[in-house]
Amino acid sequence: MPLVSMRQLLDEAAKGGYGIGAFNVNNMEQIQAIMEAARETKSPVIVQASRGARAYSQDRFLYHLMLAAAELYPEIPMVLHQDHGNSVETCKSAIDMGFTSVMMDGSLMPDGQTPSSFEYNVDATRRVVEMAHAKGVTVEGEIGCLGGIEDGHGAGLDGLSHLTDPDQAVKFVKLTGLDALAIAIGTSHGAYKFSKKPTGKTLKMARLIEIHDKLPNVHLVMHGSSSVPKKLQNIINRYGGKLKPTWGVPIKEIQLGIKNGVRKINVDTDNRLAMTGAVRKVLMKSPKKFDPRDYLKPAREAMKKVVAERMGQFGQAGHAGDYAPIPLEEMARRYRA
């Protein structure tokens, strides 16, 4: 199956009342883990790459790994998504390379750290929408700012500093014509999201529901939504790590979001924790080993287990064969119409 637009997957998810995990990648093993999980659970999948991942993998390596995945897993609807594009130019480079979805994060200035104005965000996002839709490519935008920093992107603020204003979100969607809207409800990038189990004071699910009530037909996106399980933290610390106690987003809260318009859920930290724990375990228990395959194979398997679990929890499992792929050319025609 060819790479498809994210809009098609999100539309189908809305019809079926489920969410779709968007999993970040940097290398071959992570892509393999995601695709094996997708095959095992029969799930459509969104694979996403940050600017940092694109630089790390030198772009063309990453893109051709995705083409190999499309060839090896023809039954799986796959999206290649640019995560947190910091400028119109970054999104254009992704579209030109063959990404089928891009995020224009105009909530921050091009430095990826300074909160922007509403006017700047609208202008940058609208320009990307016009460019992307002409080629059938999906656009995600963001209103409000997440906390924390990951891959050099983020304002480094507390997750509650720039929550999404529901009325401003309505205006933003109308002015930009985007396909999916990422909102700030208290989550943060990275592992250290909450210093204790989140409550309604720190994770604003009521704000999400209010936004959904005002925008019932818009696909919402939850960023910073790794659950940071204690068992994964414990494995790292048991084998030489020094993670501080931290809490992520509870699965039941993500499922509440899915019932209220969330169609895309970003997960990265959980997979990093799983892989790192597996690598540490091998190297500490078998210090004479030096073949990278000895630790990358269990790392890949550990990530696959996490991804497969999330696919089941988000409800996307079993839906890979529900629909035929729509070519980007046809999506472009629909946008024009």
Average of per-residue pLDDT across 95-110 = 95
Evaluate the CA torsion angle 274, 219, 14, 67 in order and state its sign.
negative
- Flag whether pLDDT at 163 surpasses 60: yes
Answer for the pair 123, 175: CB distance below 8 angstroms, yes or no.
no
Q: Would residue 96 show up in a list of annotated catalytic residues for this protein?
A: no
Choose, from 11, 59, 83, 167, the residue flagged as catalytic: 83
- Per-residue pLDDT band for 156 (boundaries 50, 70, 90) equals low
Answer for the pair 187, 142: CB distance below 8 angstroms, yes or no.
no
- Flag whether pLDDT at 152 surpasses 90: no
Q: Which domains does the chain have, with CATH numbers?
A: 6-227+246-267+314-332 (3.20.20.70)
Count of beta carbons in the 10 Å neighbourhood of residue 120: 15
pLDDT confidence of residue 260: 98
Average of per-residue pLDDT across 120-131 = 98
- Per-residue pLDDT band for 199 (boundaries 50, 70, 90) equals confident
Distances (CA, A) of 57 to 51, 60, 84, 245: 10, 8, 17, 31
pLDDT confidence of residue 27: 97
- Flag whether pLDDT at 154 surpasses 90: no
Residue linked to tokens 């993998």: 57
